[in-house]
Structure 1
Amino acid sequence: MEWEKLLSKERFYHSGDREESDRNDYDTIIRSTLFRRLQDKAQVFPLEADDYVRTRLTHSLEVSAIGKRLGELTFRRLKERRIDAWFEENPETEFSDTLLCAGLVHDIGNPPFGHFGEYAVREWFQRYLKDMELGGRSVTEVLEREMVTDLYCFEGNAQSLRLLSKTPHLGRQQGFNLTYRVLASIIKYPVSSFAIKNGSGSSQYGKFGYYVAERPLFLAVEEAVGTAGARHPLSWLLEAADDIAYRTSDLEDAMVKKILTFSQIADELEEYAAGDGIMGDGRGEMTEAVLLLKQMYEEEIAHGDRKMGGAVVRNPKPELTAIQRWNRYVQEMMIGDAASSFEKNYDAIMNGTLEGDLLSGTPSGCLVEAISRLCEEVVYTSPVKIKAELFGRRVIDSLMGQFMPAAVKYDTGEAMTFIERRIMDTVSDFYKSMYHEQAAGKGEEERLYLRILMVTDYISGMTDNYARRLYRELFS
């Protein structure tokens, strides 16, 4: 792979007007409706009333900021090594600004209610798709096998690519029309659902990156940036930025939600540092990190009473402040390790042969693993989180069950009941226009597939509170 192609400024759609050619990816993203909707989509805790806890929007902003910082550091190190002439001849912003934009949109396809929403959509298709009929035949018999696999394996990453390329934006049907380099950077899994399910994709990918409907776009991106079936190098840095952002923020948010205490965090990290699963420099880094966390807490206790304007003000949350300070420290450590790992594995990344992730095997990778274990055992299984997720599951199940059967018959010669027609009347014209644009001139099976995707786009595009409100309006 070559950086001149990897950072192509070319776009999928060429309008020929100056406004289109001069526009900036960053401006396009932050001014969009889809991006604003992330403010009411869950990161970890669905339907959260506490404004402090992160949403999908604040998470995306953090990933964007970390990604840019990581891009700057990595570029500088590669330039210092004179690893490629491209780094001598081009500005660092070509590298880091791509990550800045990719971080903003990497989760834009996620449905309401966080990752639990992904499971809900996926499992609805697995349970009920075969029971719907069109023209006396099961939908699964009408659709091509790969189309069925797309639905059974519904994936937020693939949904992001779809929405960015197909959602009407500023009156145009070609989506955001972002540069190929940004789109390539968010394709974490450059493989189809069918390849994954049938064992013809790389063993390193447990998920897929594009639907049948977006195959032409995927192939165009792949050709333009020259990845030839491999991950774009910047996708490795974006993945690391995502891991760094959510691993550290989940601890902080869990403390705010009173799911985790400071002592639990410190004790778990200390226990992990003393265990047998750490190799190389990881133990020392872990031990030092735990000692620093405790030191920061002691400092907050010692300096808890501060004089401000003649009054003594006590810090009411020394534990939380210590975690916040510590998160900043470990994020910098993780950024440094990720940049070093990219540099160390540069040839494998550019050859498309690297597996795993950038933080694996690094000192801070042990810290990520310890935080991950704690979150899996305590945070992600907490009753407060599960109750909200189970409600979200009921919302998605009910909406899918209401809209999908009507969508199957929509825009066909099949007779629709009065209720089915009214159901389709409630689907936004925004998504109907997407369908009609894509379905023009297509065959029966592809039109059916696109109608199902129309409702999938509609429901997965909802915010948490809109989905809850619509559910109550329809079923209460």
Structure 2
Amino acid sequence: MEQTSHGQEDFTLMPHKLSWKKLLSPERVPRSASSGSGPSESATVGTGDIKKPDVSQDARTPFEQDYDRIVFSPPFRRLARKTQVHPMASNDHIHNRLTHSIEVSSVGRSFAGRVAELAHRRSDLTADDFPKLPWILQSACLIHDLGNPPFGHAGEEVIRDWTNEHSEWLFPEARFTSSEEREKCRLDWLNFEGNAQGFRLAARRDNPMPGYLRLTYASLSSAIKYPWPSFDPRATEKRKHNVYSSEFELFEIMSAELGLTSADGRWCRHPLSFLTEAADDICYRIIDPEDAVEMGICSHDQVHELFLRIARKPDYHWMSLSQLRGQAIASLMDQFWEVFENDFDALMNGERMVDLKSSLHDECQEQLEEVSRMYDSIFGHRKKIATELGAYHVLDRILKAMIKTAQSIHDANTYDDIHFLSKRTLELTWKQPYVEKNLAKPYSWWLSQVMDFVSGMTDDYATRLSREIWGLSSDGM
């Protein structure tokens, strides 16, 4: 597939000039947005009323508020019990999604000073905007894995495969108001994506139950790598997207506010999103091999030599692995930054969509390819494979029980009409008051609630809940 000088795939994008005056918008999802499955806050749907807080005494900037909302949120806290690479690791030194996200945010923050100087010199960023950048980049990095399901990327694959296998039962035409609603909901599930689930959690605020955050547009967009919805052909082709149909209207409002919607109707990437993505790429390519040494999967000497080459410090054999890790991260930051700086005009014209990694020089590409070859050993580790095989049975049992419950709720006129076993499942999940407040919601809304719940589970909780549901089930689900 041909690429242009900016890494674009087989077509030339129309330039669309971006402005930092819009890109750093502190706006959040409007409370008056559309109702139903869209981003509305007009209805009370949780266990308590949503009230607009009094911010008159709050000395924090909107971007500082974003950061604080994230670190105090239940979805972020639960990342501590979610797999990064090694599921349910008993070794306390191994990374989980929480420690990984914190480290990514540290790298992201370190890029902020460089962005400030470059954007001030070559575009319309003002000195008054400099303090905003570290908070925005940190927040974007902290939420980049927020929507990932239990059991890591294996969990994503399980949900997609399970949906494909149960599609006819999951999406009966009679439960939807239109064929369009059904098809979009079906594609949300078939193309389940942790990135899109994370955007849903971070953008919405109409429901306190799952822990929606309603972050600023600047922070949200700085975490978006794939600016298209689940029903866009690219979502199926690339198996990547950042927006479910339920958040598409919200996404369009945000993109317009930030000036990311071009004249030809496409959505550009926020320039800071490339650095959020780079921070993630840098961290997991350095940290995963280090974890592999701790797990006994790769040898210390093998990874030590690799870090020497990545750090471009061939004579620093005396350094410990942890010291070299810091040197390797710094080296990769410099090389990713070189691509960002060289392509800055294209980024500010909305002409680049692919990651910075694809434009790194050959030597660095070769080193990252060596890390990729290590993944054959890391992902082929027997304990990891066994846990991921078990993940299918765990999620299969939970999904079946919760979809049955969602269908029973949809069929009910009152809480008492809900099937007995579904009520018992509800006692383990949403509870009666929550269901009663939302009984009239459409089936598609309840399917989104199922996904919020399932993707929000930790590895340990999913395993425990699966066992509890097994004990409640009469048909050996």
What is the TM-score of this pair, normalised by structure 1? 0.80
Residues 131 and 139 of structure 1 are in contact (CA less than 8 Å); yes or no, is this contact kept in structure 2?
no
CA distance in 1, matches of 2:88, 2:284: 18
- Cα offset, 1:330, TM superposition: 1.5
Q: How many residues are matched?
A: 421
Gaps of 5+ in 2: 1-17, 32-50, 262-266, 472-477
Which position in structure 2 is the counterpart of 1:175? 212
Which position in structure 1 is the counterpart of 2:345? 347
Name which of 144, 150, 160 aligns with 1:122: 160
Label 1:326 to 1:226 Cα distance change in 2 as closer, same or farther (>3 A): same
Residues 290 and 303 of structure 2 are in contact (CA less than 8 Å); yes or no, is this contact kept in structure 1?
no
Residues 187 and 230 of structure 2 are in contact (CA less than 8 Å); yes or no, is this contact kept in structure 1?
yes
| 1:163 aligns to 2:214 (yes or no) | no
- Cα offset, 1:160, TM superposition: 0.6
Label 1:99 to 1:107 Cα distance change in 2 as closer, same or farther (>3 A): same
- Cα offset, 1:174, TM superposition: 8.9
| 1:209 aligns to 2:246 (yes or no) | no
| 1:422 aligns to 2:461 (yes or no) | no
Between 18-27 and 130-139, report the one with greater CA deviation. Answer: 130-139
Q: Deviations over 1:298-335 (max 9, x none)?
A: x25xxxxxxxxxxxxxxxxxxxx32x222211111111
Larger radius of gyration: 1
Q: Which amino acid aligns with 2:463?
A: R
CA distance in 2, matches of 1:328, 1:397: 41
Q: Which amino acid aligns with 2:218?
A: R
Name which of 86, 101, 119 aligns with 2:125: 86
CA distance in 2, matches of 1:68, 1:130: 46
Which position in structure 2 is the counterpart of 1:193? 230
- Cα offset, 1:17, TM superposition: 4.5
Label 1:460 to 1:426 Cα distance change in 2 as closer, same or farther (>3 A): same
- Cα offset, 1:18, TM superposition: 3.0
What secondary structure, in the 3-state scheme, does the structure 2 residue paired with 1:90 have? helix
Label 1:196 to 1:326 Cα distance change in 2 as closer, same or farther (>3 A): farther
Which position in structure 2 is the counterpart of 1:39? 80
CA distance in 2, matches of 1:142, 1:420: 28
| 1:336 aligns to 2:334 (yes or no) | yes
- Cα offset, 1:336, TM superposition: 1.3
- Cα offset, 1:260, TM superposition: 0.5
- Cα offset, 1:388, TM superposition: 1.6
What secondary structure, in the 3-state scheme, does the structure 2 residue paired with 1:359 have? helix
Q: Which amino acid aligns with 2:268?
A: A
Which position in structure 1 is the counterpart of 2:464? 469
Residues 29 and 104 of structure 1 are in contact (CA less than 8 Å); yes or no, is this contact kept in structure 2?
yes
Residues 131 and 138 of structure 1 are in contact (CA less than 8 Å); yes or no, is this contact kept in structure 2?
no
- Cα offset, 1:45, TM superposition: 0.7
Which position in structure 2 is the counterpart of 1:453? 448
Residues 410 and 443 of structure 2 are in contact (CA less than 8 Å); yes or no, is this contact kept in structure 1?
no
Q: Which amino acid aligns with 1:210?
A: V
| 1:3 aligns to 2:20 (yes or no) | yes
Label 1:132 to 1:77 Cα distance change in 2 as closer, same or farther (>3 A): closer
Which position in structure 2 is the counterpart of 1:373? 372
- Cα offset, 1:237, TM superposition: 0.7
What secondary structure, in the 3-state scheme, does the structure 2 residue paired with 1:186 have? coil
Residues 228 and 235 of structure 2 are in contact (CA less than 8 Å); yes or no, is this contact kept in structure 1?
no
Name which of 190, 195, 220 aligns with 2:253: 220
| 1:246 aligns to 2:244 (yes or no) | no
1:24-423 aligned within 5 A: 24-79=65-120, 82-87=121-126, 89-132=127-170, 143-166=181-204, 175-196=212-233, 206-228=239-261, 229-265=267-303, 269=306, 288-289=309-310, 292=313, 295-297=315-317, 299=318, 321-322=320-321, 324-363=322-361, 365-366=364-365, 369-413=368-412, 416-423=418-425
Residues 130 and 139 of structure 1 are in contact (CA less than 8 Å); yes or no, is this contact kept in structure 2?
no
Q: Which amino acid aligns with 1:156?
A: G
What is the TM-score of this pair, normalised by structure 2? 0.80
- Cα offset, 1:148, TM superposition: 0.8
CA distance in 1, matches of 2:401, 2:183: 24
- Cα offset, 1:113, TM superposition: 0.7
Q: Deviations over 1:384-411 (max 9, x none)?
A: 2211222222211111122212212313
Label 1:165 to 1:74 Cα distance change in 2 as closer, same or farther (>3 A): closer
- Cα offset, 1:215, TM superposition: 1.3
What is the root-mean-square deviation of aligned Cα atoms in Å?
A: 3.1
Gaps of 5+ in 1: 270-285, 301-320
Q: Deviations over 1:322-372 (max 9, x none)?
A: 2x2222111111111222211111121122211432132324742552244
Which position in structure 2 is the counterpart of 1:310? none
What secondary structure, in the 3-state scheme, does the structure 2 residue paired with 1:292 have? coil
CA distance in 1, matches of 2:242, 2:339: 24
CA distance in 2, matches of 1:135, 1:98: 42
Q: Which amino acid aligns with 2:166?
A: Y
* Paired-residue identity, %: 31
CA distance in 2, matches of 1:52, 1:198: 36
Q: Deviations over 1:179-232 (max 9, x none)?
A: 110011112111011112588xxx8x6411111111121112111111111111
Residues 102 and 182 of structure 1 are in contact (CA less than 8 Å); yes or no, is this contact kept in structure 2?
yes
Label 1:374 to 1:400 Cα distance change in 2 as closer, same or farther (>3 A): same
- Cα offset, 1:262, TM superposition: 2.7
Between 240-249 and 174-183, report the one with greater CA deviation. Answer: 174-183
- Cα offset, 1:291, TM superposition: 7.2
- Cα offset, 1:86, TM superposition: 1.9
Residues 426 and 432 of structure 2 are in contact (CA less than 8 Å); yes or no, is this contact kept in structure 1?
no
CA distance in 1, matches of 2:357, 2:153: 22
Residues 40 and 465 of structure 1 are in contact (CA less than 8 Å); yes or no, is this contact kept in structure 2?
yes
- Cα offset, 1:20, TM superposition: 7.9
Label 1:186 to 1:85 Cα distance change in 2 as closer, same or farther (>3 A): closer
Q: Deviations over 1:85-134 (max 9, x none)?
A: 424x3342222220011111111111111111111111111111213476
What secondary structure, in the 3-state scheme, does the structure 1 residue paired with 2:246 have? helix
Residues 196 and 243 of structure 2 are in contact (CA less than 8 Å); yes or no, is this contact kept in structure 1?
yes
- Cα offset, 1:474, TM superposition: 2.6
